[in-house]
Amino acid sequence: MSVVPGIVGFYHHYAGEANVCWMCDHPGATEWNYQDHLRSLIARHGWAVQGVERDGIHPPWAYTVGLTPRRRPELVITGIGLTRATRVLNGVAAHLLHADEPEPGTQAALLDGPLIEVVRVAAPWAHLNMAVEFYGRRIRGLQLVHADKRGSWPWDDAYQGVRGGQPVLGPREPPERRRRVE
**pLDDT tens digits for range 29-76:** 998 999 999 999 999 999 999 998 888 788 999 999 999 999 999 999
Please report the pLDDT score of residue 20 as a whole number. Answer: 58
CA distance 173 to 153: 13
pTM: 0.88
- Please, which residues bridge with residue 61 across strands? 52, 78
Looking only at the bridges linking them, the beta strands covering 74-78 and 61-65 are: antiparallel
For the cut 50, the answer to whether the pLDDT of residue 8 exceeds it is: no
Decide if pLDDT at 10 tops 80: no
The pLDDT-based confidence of 117 (bands split at 50, 70, 90) is very high
